[in-house]
Amino acid sequence: MSMKKRVKLIGSALFLTPMLLLAACGGGNDTGASNEDAENYPERDISGVIQWGEGGATDNISRTLAPLAEEELGGTLVMENREGASGATGAQYVYDQPADGYTLLFGAENPNLYQVLGISERDYLTDFEPVSIIGQSYAGIVVKEDSPFESLEDLIDYSTENPGDITMGTSGEGGLPHVASAMLQAELGTEFNQVPYDGDGPLATALLGDEIDATVLAVSAAQEYVESGDFRMLAVINDEPLDSAPDVPAITEAYPEFEKYLPWGPFQGVFAHKDTPDAIIDKLSDSFEKAQENEEFQETLENLGVNPLNINGEEAIEYLEQNRSTSTWMLYDAGATETSPEEFDIPRVDEE
């Protein structure tokens, strides 16, 4: 991009765009609720609520996807972060807005667990309609390079023999390491001393600083430290090794009983209120589907270690159901929650 062009861009970025926006929202005050004709949708700005804070994976993906979706939709997406309470604040906010497709939730996997963990009453399947599931990441079990545990079996054996001796860093209730620990506990009877941290970054720091013995990180986040020789990844939680980490064994190699839980991992998606008119959902789904086909966006996902899914409609609902059943029952079986998923009519994975 030439210098002149860039100057122009900054200029427009800082001053012109707002003016255009001002013109665009001129007629935006007629809040005609849900009866709006889908043909004319969107007639005003759509608000995109990101349920995690600035700089997180959900934020990065949402903010890169938004401008692409805008082109397809022919409208403006105004993105805002409403983080807090494991994302429950953002989910609740979107649920409280009129079901007219003008408020979208850009969320991660967390709402699947809200009910069972007692965080919130909201739930993807009962309260929201998936517009698009963007992609899924994978989780890996990591230890520090100088750790005595050479393989997953070492770690499991030690922790079953010495319950509570291994300190496992987690990212709080319902987070990746918490659910993965529950998975190990439910199937193999391991017991870890769980210490919660604020996310992937602090977990990596804690592992580097020898505060914790092991943790579960998104493979993309951990891979860098594995390459630099700081961490060792013992297994990926998947039924086959990943392209991005071909040397790391899949968890099913040593413990085939995990097969029934897979595929499982964190995901990101776009959601609308359950009562949004179907025509608007369809239009949104189409737009987001096309937007995700953008090559640059696919590269961004790859950089973030996200496996693109780009699914919507029935397929997306099935995906959500499977993920929710796996996570909730795992937590319940491991005793991490006393609320049975049955109370919310969540079927067991095996029964599907």
* Binding footprint of other proteins on the chain (CB under 8 A): 1, 3, 6-7, 9-10, 13-14, 17-19, 21-22, 29, 45, 47, 53-56, 59-60, 63-64, 66-67, 78-82, 84-86, 88-89, 92, 117, 119-120, 164, 167, 172-174, 193-198, 201-202, 204-205, 208-209, 211-212, 223-225, 227-228, 230, 296, 299-300, 303-304
* Min separation Cβ 187 and other proteins, Å: 23
* Own/partner long-range contacts of 30-38 (Cβ < 8 Å, ≥24 apart): 31/98, 32/100, 33/98, 33/100, 34/98, 34/99, 34/100, 34/275, 34/276, 34/277, 36/100, 36/277, 36/280, 38/277, 38/279, 38/280, 38/282, 38/283
Alpha-carbon 191 to chain mean position: 26
> Where does the chain show beta strands of DSSP type E?
46-50, 77-81, 103-108, 128-136, 139-144, 167-170, 193-196, 214-218, 231-236, 267-273, 307-311
- Least distance from other proteins to the Cβ atom of residue 259, Å: 29
Nearer to other proteins, 217 or 311 (CB): 217
Q: Which is nearer to other proteins, 74 or 229 (CB)?
A: 229
Q: Least CB distance from residue 233 to other proteins, whole Å?
A: 13
User: Shortest Cβ distance from residue 224 to other proteins (Å)?
Assistant: 3
Asked whether the beta carbons of 284 and 272 are under 8 A apart, the reply is: yes
The C-alpha atoms of residue 343 and residue 195 are separated, in whole angstroms, by 29
Nearer of residues 37 and 80 to other proteins, judged by Cβ: 80
CB–CB of 215/203 below 8 Å? Answer: yes
Minimum distance between the CB of residue 9 and other proteins, rounded to whole angstroms?
Answer: 8
Distance CA 236, CA 234 (A): 7
Between 174 and 269, name the residue whose CB sits nearer to other proteins.
174
Q: Write phi, then psi, for 79 (nearest 5 degrees).
A: -90, 140
Residue with Cβ nearer other proteins (13 or 315): 13
The least CB distance from residue 127 to other proteins, in Å, is: 14
Minimum separation from the CB atom of position 93 to other proteins (A): 8
As given in the structure block, the two tokens for residue 278 are 């179907």
Residue 185 or 252 with smaller CB distance to other proteins: 185
Query: Where would I find the H helices in 12-149?
Result: 17-24, 57-73, 88-96, 114-117, 124-127
- Cβ proximity to other proteins, 237 vs 301, nearer residue: 301
Q: Which amino acid is at 172?
A: G
